[in-house]
Structure 1
């Protein structure tokens, strides 16, 4: 096999890999649920110890006024001033941004 053919094949493989990754990201651009939960936990850690947390791995539709998006639903509990506080959150599946936080 010639070196030229090897370089052409290698370059074609890399280009195809990048193209497939880009197409797959456009089809399902959601962030993994674990990363979304990790970001939310980091935000809560600045105000106190986290007692527990959970997140549904599948997205669900969420509508607020005229805006609709897919969100992850989850919850977090923390200890603040000796008392346990519990929250339920809805986080945008594409960005991980909390769109609603409800204290229970």
Structure 2
């Protein structure tokens, strides 16, 4: 077997794999970690974040007769000497906060 053909085949396989990886990443929404970071940025404007969590698997969620795939989670914030707890639901495909409720 000719080494040129072997190297050419390996390069073509690598290029195809890389292109497939890029296409899959563009079609997927943000990771749960990125969604949590975005929610924390929004909530920490009014106080310091004390703790946070997120469910890593998207769940079905309905609001105003619309169905969503969401990441659910929670944040604890320290404001003016008081701890405040929030639950949130963020769209799994965009990371947009759909619901934020204080406990």
What's the TM-score, normalizing by structure 2? 0.80
Unaligned runs of 5+ in 2: none
| TM-score, normalising length: structure 1 | 0.80
Secondary structure, in 3 states, of the residue corresponding to 1:11? helix
- RMSD over equivalenced CA pairs, Å: 2.2
How far off its partner does 1:95 sit? Answer: 1.2
Instruction: State the match for 1:68 in structure 2.
Output: 67
Q: Which runs of 5+ in 1 are unaligned?
A: none
Corresponding residue number in structure 2 for 1:17: 18
Return the offset for 1:25.
Answer: 5.8
Q: Does 2:77 correspond to 1:78?
A: yes
Identify the residue that residue 99 of structure 1 maps to in structure 2. Answer: 98
